[in-house]
């Protein structure tokens, strides 16, 4: 039992280390500026920093932009990757392995590293400074196709055959047989996708030029990059505020997420 006690203590120490930066930010956010760096039990509490941050930048608009962005990406990825995954999982056609390998390349070479060329493409399409422009490079997702393909391959072929005998078309089979059975995969993939795009920064920074398209991350960076000197308390407040929705969502659905990861076989 001795080792267990040591392990538990070590786990807790690690856990404490892990939340400490966040607790520090929280401390700074809920106390007046002059206490930001002086940890004192007597420090008065305040919501002032949150109020200042909220009023200072169009965070509701940024939040809306991010929400539109992640929704657009998620829906498009589901709609695009599902049929492609099915084709790779269940159909036979010449060149399948080659095409699949080409798709998988994107697991390593993500659009994130092709900033300059993709920006040029967007400029040609006239999509710079639009939410669609931020989303576009990520819509065809190799990760999504790969994940769904693995799941679809585990669906019993008999279900497919049965639906076919009933006269269902290809899309109907995918929709009625495969999609419902792959729900955990969709949830898990959805979580990965949403957190990825909620948190994405460099590409949106390059693409967006205005308040009406900036996602939260870019908004936050423009908010925090000040030449007049930073106010740690207000920045901490803004940081926590902008991260809150995702944190909250995770708190609420924690168990489901882990379970869907488990069942999706992402492991």
Contacts of 5 (CB under 8 A, 6+ apart): none
Query: 28 or 163: whose CB is closer to other proteins?
Result: 28
Instruction: State the number of CA atoms in the 13 A half-sphere of 64 facing the CB.
Output: 7
- Which one among 6, 162, 230, 252 touches other proteins, defined by CB under 8 A? 230
d(CA 146, CA 59): 35
- Which one among 108, 157, 165, 167 touches other proteins, defined by CB under 8 A? 108
Give the nearest distance from C-beta 158 to other proteins in angstroms: 19
- Which one among 44, 60, 167, 229 touches other proteins, defined by CB under 8 A? 229
- Which one among 47, 120, 180, 256 touches other proteins, defined by CB under 8 A? 120
Of the candidates 29, 35, 59, 60, the one whose C-alpha atom is nearest the C-alpha of residue 47 is 29
Task: Map residues 8-37 to x or -, x wherever contact with other proteins holds by CB under 8 A.
Answer: x-xxx-xxx-xxxxx-xx--x-----x-xx
Query: 56 or 162: whose CB is closer to other proteins?
Result: 56
SS3 assignment for 109-126 = CCHHHCHHHHHHHHHHHC
Q: Extract the tokens encoding 6.
A: 């040591």
Instruction: Check binding of 231 to other proteins (CB under 8 A).
Output: yes
Q: Extract the tokens encoding 160.
A: 């497919």
Instruction: Check binding of 242 to other proteins (CB under 8 A).
Output: yes
Instruction: Check binding of 226 to other proteins (CB under 8 A).
Output: yes
Q: What is the DSSP letter of 57?
A: S
Helical packing angle, 232-264 and 2-29, nearest 10°: 140
Instruction: Check binding of 6 to other proteins (CB under 8 A).
Output: no
- Which one among 128, 159, 179, 181 touches other proteins, defined by CB under 8 A? 128
Q: In a 10 Å sphere around its CB, with 0-12 CB exposed, 13-18 middle and 19+ buried, how is residue 245 labelled? A: middle
d(CA 26, CA 235): 11
Contacts of 65 (CB under 8 A, 6+ apart): 131, 212, 213, 214, 215, 216
Instruction: Check binding of 115 to other proteins (CB under 8 A).
Output: yes
Task: Map residues 174-203 to x or -, x wherever contact with other proteins holds by CB under 8 A.
Answer: ---------------------x--xx-xx-
d(CA 142, CA 157): 24
- Which one among 6, 102, 162, 252 touches other proteins, defined by CB under 8 A? 102
- Which one among 71, 155, 222, 253 touches other proteins, defined by CB under 8 A? 222
Stretch that binds other proteins, among 41-49, 100-108, 157-165 (CB under 8 A): 100-108
User: For residues 45-74, which are near other proteins according to CB under 8 A?
Assistant: 53, 56-58, 72
Give the nearest distance from C-beta 18 to other proteins in angstroms: 5
């Amino acid at each position: 039992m001795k080792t267990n006690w040591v392990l538990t203590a070590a786990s807790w120490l690690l856990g404490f280390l892990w939340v400490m930066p966040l607790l520090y930010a929280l401390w700074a956010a809920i106390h007046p500026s002059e206490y930001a760096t002086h940890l004192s039990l007597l420090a008065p509490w305040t919501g002032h920093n949150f109020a200042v941050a909220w009023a200072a930048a169009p965070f509701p608009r940024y939040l809306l932009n991010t929400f539109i962005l992640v929704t657009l990406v998620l829906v498009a990825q589901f709609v695009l990757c599902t049929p492609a995954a099915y084709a790779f999982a269940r159909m036979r056609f010449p060149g399948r392995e080659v095409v699949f390998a080409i798709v998988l390349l994107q697991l390593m070479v993500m659009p994130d590293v092709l900033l300059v060329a993709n920006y040029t493409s967007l400029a040609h399409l006239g999509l710079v400074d639009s939410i669609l422009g931020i989303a576009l490079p990520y819509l065809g997702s190799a990760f999504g196709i790969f994940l769904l393909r693995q799941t679809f391959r585990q669906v019993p072929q008999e279900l497919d055959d049965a639906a076919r005998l009933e006269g269902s078309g290809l899309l109907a089979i995918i929709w009625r047989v495969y999609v419902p059975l792959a729900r955990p995969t969709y949830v898990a993939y959805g979580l990965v996708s949403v957190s990825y795009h909620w948190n994405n920064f460099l590409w949106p920074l390059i693409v967006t030029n205005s308040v009406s398209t900036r996602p939260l991350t870019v908004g936050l960076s423009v908010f925090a990059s000040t030449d007049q000197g930073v106010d740690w308390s207000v920045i901490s407040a803004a940081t926590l505020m902008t991260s809150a929705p995702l944190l909250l969502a995770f708190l609420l659905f924690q168990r489901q997420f882990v379970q869907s990861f488990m069942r999706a076989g992402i492991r």
